[in-house]
Amino acid sequence: MQLIACPWCGEREEIEFHYGGQAHVAYPDDPYALDDDQWAQYVFFRDNPKGPFAERWVHAAGCRRWFNAVRDTVTHEFLAVYDVRAPRPLLTGSAAAAQQRKGQEAS
Amino acid sequence: MHPRDNAPATPGDALPDHPDFLWRNPDPKPSYDVVIVGGGGHGLATAYYLAKNHGITDIAVLEKGWLAGGNMARNTTIIRSNYLWDESSGIYEHSLKLWETLEEDLDYPILFSQRGVLNLAHSLQDIRDSKRRVYANQLNGIDAEWLEPDEVAEVCPIVNISPDVRYPVLGATYQPRAGIAKHDYVAWGFARRADDYGIDLIQDCEVTGLDIRGGRVTGVQTTRGPIAAGKVALAAAGHSSVLASMAGLRLPLQSHPLQALVSELLEPVHPTVVMSNAVHVYVSQAHKGELVMGAGIDSYNGYGQRGAFHILERQMAAALELFPVFARAHMLRTWAGIVDVTPDASPIVGTTPVENLYLNCGWGTGGFKATPGVGWCYAHTIATGEPHPYNAPFTLARFTTGALVDEHGAAAVAH
Q: What is the pLDDT of residues B221-230, one digit of tens each?
A: 999 999 999 9
Of the listed ranges A86-90, B8-12, B206-210, the one predicted with least confidence: B8-12
Report the candidate in B48, B95, B398 with the shortest Cα–Cα distance to residue B193: B48
pLDDT tens profile B207-260 = 999 999 999 999 999 999 999 999 999 999 999 999 999 999 999 999 999 999
d(CA B240, nearest CA chain A) in Å? 10
Contact A71 B300 (CB under 8 A): yes
Rounded to two decimals, what is the model's pTM? 0.93
- Give me the total of CB pairs closer than 8 Å, taking one residue from chain A and one from chain B: 63
Say if residue B345's pLDDT is above 50. Answer: yes
- Residue A67 CA to residue A17 CA, distance in Å, equals 11
Got the DSSP string for B249-292? ---S-EEEEEEEEEEEE--S---SEEEETTTTEEEEE-TTSEEE
**B chain contacts of residue A19, beta-carbon cutoff 8 Å:** 299-300
Q: B245 vs A47, B28, B82, B209, B401, CA distance in Å? A: 10, 24, 33, 9, 22
pLDDT tens profile A37-64 = 999 999 999 999 999 999 999 999 999 9
**pLDDT at residue B16 in the model:** 81
Say if residue B4's pLDDT is above 60. Answer: no
User: Residue B5 is which amino acid?
Assistant: D
Angle at B70 between CA B66 and CA B74, to 5 degrees: 125
Q: Would you place residue A106 in the very low, low, confident or very high pLDDT band (cuts 50, 70, 90)?
A: very low
Q: Would you place residue B304 in the very low, low, confident or very high pLDDT band (cuts 50, 70, 90)?
A: very high
Say if residue B414's pLDDT is above 80. Answer: no
Q: Would you place residue B44 in the very low, low, confident or very high pLDDT band (cuts 50, 70, 90)?
A: very high
pLDDT tens profile B375-392 = 999 999 999 999 999 999
Give ipTM to 2 decimals: 0.91
Mean pLDDT, range B117-137, rounded to an integer: 96
Mean pLDDT, range B255-282, rounded to an integer: 93
Say if residue B283's pLDDT is above 90. Answer: yes
Residues 6+ apart with CB under 8 A from B292: B76, B77, B180, B260, B261, B262, B283, B284, B285, B286
Report the candidate in B66, B69, B356, B407 with the shortest Cα–Cα distance to residue B216: B356
Specify the number of domains making up chain A.
1
- Residue B323 CA to residue B118 CA, distance in Å, equals 14
**pLDDT at residue B101 in the model:** 98
Runs of H (alpha helix) within B258-391: 309-322, 371-384
The verdict on B279 touching A (C-beta cutoff 8 Å) is no
Contact A13, A57 (CB under 8 A): no
d(CA B399, nearest CA chain A) in Å? 6
Boundaries of domain holding A83: 3-106
The verdict on B249 touching A (C-beta cutoff 8 Å) is no
B254, closest residue in chain A (CA to CA): A48
The verdict on B314 touching A (C-beta cutoff 8 Å) is no
Q: Collapsing DSSP states into helix, strand and coil, what is residue B293?
A: strand
**pLDDT at residue A93 in the model:** 62
The verdict on B308 touching A (C-beta cutoff 8 Å) is yes
- Residue B367 CA to residue B387 CA, distance in Å, equals 18
Mean pLDDT, range B276-300, rounded to an integer: 91
- Residue A7 CA to residue B298 CA, distance in Å, equals 23
d(CA A12, nearest CA chain B) in Å? 14
Query: How many CB atoms sit inside 10 A of residue A24's CB?
Result: 12
Mean pLDDT, range B346-373, rounded to an integer: 97
Report the candidate in B156, B224, B193, B167 with the shortest Cα–Cα distance to residue B57: B193
Count each helix (H run) and each strand (E run) in chain B, helices first: 9, 18
Mean pLDDT, range B51-63, rounded to an integer: 98
**pLDDT at residue A105 in the model:** 52
Domain containing A45 — which CATH number? Answer: 3.30.2270.10
The verdict on B74 touching A (C-beta cutoff 8 Å) is no
Q: Are strands A10-13 and B348-351 parallel, antiparallel or unpaired?
A: unpaired
**pLDDT at residue A107 in the model:** 42
**pLDDT at residue B140 in the model:** 97
Q: Would you place residue A20 in the very low, low, confident or very high pLDDT band (cuts 50, 70, 90)?
A: very high
Question: How much of chain B, in percent, has pLDDT values that exceed 70?
Answer: 97
Question: How much of chain B, in percent, has pLDDT values that exceed 90?
Answer: 90
E strand residue ranges, B40-155: 59-62, 78-79, 117-121, 145-147
- Residue B164 CA to residue B382 CA, distance in Å, equals 54
d(CA B226, nearest CA chain A) in Å? 16
